[in-house]
Amino acid sequence: MIPLRDTIRSQNYPVVNNLLIGVNVLVFLIQLSQGPNLDRFVFTYGLVPAKFTHPALSAYFGLAGNLFSLLSFMFLHGGFLHLLGNMWSLYIFGDNVEDRLGPLRYLGFYLAAGLISGLFHMALNMNSQIPTIGASGAIAGVMGAYFILYPASKILTLIPIIFIPWFIEIPAFVFLGIWFVLQFLSAAGSHGGATGIAWWAHVGGFIGGIVLLKLFTLVPKAGLSRKLQSTTTKKTSHRLQVLHPTGASDSLHLYATLPITAFEALAGTSKYVTIPQGFRRRTLRVNVPPGIKEGNTLRLQGQGRTSPAGDKGDLYLQVQFVSW
């Protein structure tokens, strides 16, 4: 299952979430520049439990270096696909959690979730000399918070069946619940770090995110967070939308509502709309002309139902203004 986006639109641009993505990419580029010293770089700044339990290793790296690795490990990655997968998940789920917590609380939450995931992994692999790296544990914390905050959200998911892409909306609590169960089963069936994946860090991060959410919501938003959010309000709606058209049973025409913002109506925009048709889905591009009014209707010729004789109806989209 490949998540494409969620259906809950964040009201503000995720400044901190985007900053975290940028820092992860920057650190990955620094990794690539290490050349033959990469393994030493990863061992130094990755999370190695043995550095805390073996006296010789602990003395060599020092207290400050070991404590710093509890933070730095979550910004390192094992390759481009590792980075891409993590950043994509952070992009999908992080903006909504930042929206709810505010920028400053979200930053503290993210780092704390990553720390908990690392400590959870260490507790179960105390003597391991294998470096643990990646933002997966911190992102698992974000996903745990999303699980609590937006259980009714839908995750637009790509399920590749052989060569046929299948798009389906899965309730967030189902998608994330399945994800967590898979992480737990993988962790329970693994032997230390033999698989190369810190499954217990994922499990610890997810649980930690749920606990931390309760704690961080008790902390009042700082004035700076309110000021940032007041200047980062979004003016656009989702570029990709899922519509569920309806129509009379004896008509080939279909009708749906297209949500856009007043700003998009003024300037004009284009959207990609996905329309379910049984087990198949059509994706259409809809051009919204500038100056359109709320209640106006866009006609997509030939995109309605098809009769047994081959006649095609039209799809009518009524413009509705929304504020995010």
Its domain, for residue 31, covers 2-231
How do residues 77-90 score in pLDDT, each as one tens digit? 999 999 999 999 99
Which residue in the block uniquely carries the two structure tokens 């999908």?
92
Q: What is the model's pLDDT at position 239?
A: 79
Is residue 174 located within the same domain as residue 262? Answer: no
Domains held by the chain: number: 2
Q: How far is CA 98 from CA 115, 151, 172, in A?
A: 18, 16, 17
For position 194, what pLDDT does the model report? 47
Residues 197 and 313 in one domain: no
**Greater pLDDT, 187 or 197:** 187
Q: Indicate if 221 and 302 belong to the same structural domain.
A: no
Residue 148 above 90 pLDDT?
A: yes
- Residue 172 and residue 83 share a domain: yes
Whether residue 52 is found in the same domain as residue 69: yes
Q: Are 186 and 300 within one domain? A: no
Which residue type is seen at 136?
A: S
* 227-284 per-position pLDDT tens digit: 666 677 766 777 778 888 999 988 999 999 998 888 889 889 999 888 876 656 788 8
Domain with residue 44: its CATH number is: 1.20.1540.10
Tell me the C-alpha distance between 120 and 137, whole Å: 10
Share of the chain above pLDDT 90, in %: 67
DSSP 179: H
How far from each other are the two terminal CA atoms of the chain, in whole angstroms?
28
pLDDT of 166 above 80:
no
Q: What is the DSSP string of 109-171?
A: HHHHHHHHHHHHHHHH-TT--SPB--SHHHHHHHHHHHHHH-TT-EEEEEEEETTEEEEEEEE
Q: What's the pLDDT band for 159 if we cut at 50, 70, 90?
A: confident
pLDDT cut 70: percent of the chain above it: 91
Q: Please indicate, yes or no, whether residues 182 and 261 belong to a single structural domain of this protein.
A: no
Q: Decide if 12 contacts 233 (C-beta within 8 A).
A: yes
**Residue 155: pLDDT band with limits 50, 70, 90:** very high
DSSP letter at 248?
-
User: Within a 13 Å sphere around the CA of 45, how many CA atoms are in the beta-carbon half?
Assistant: 19
Res 218: pLDDT:
86
My answer on whether 42 and 187 are in the same domain is yes
Tokens for 118, please give them. Answer: 């690392």
Q: Summarize the confidence of residues 201-221 as an average pLDDT.
A: 91
Pair 180, 251 in one domain: no
Cα–Cα dist 3/134, whole Å: 19
- Residue ending a domain, among 188, 204, 231, is 231
Write down the pLDDT at residue 219.
79
Do residues 116 and 251 share a domain?
no
Domain boundary among 204, 231, 258: 231
In the numeric block, the tokens 């749906």 are attached to 256
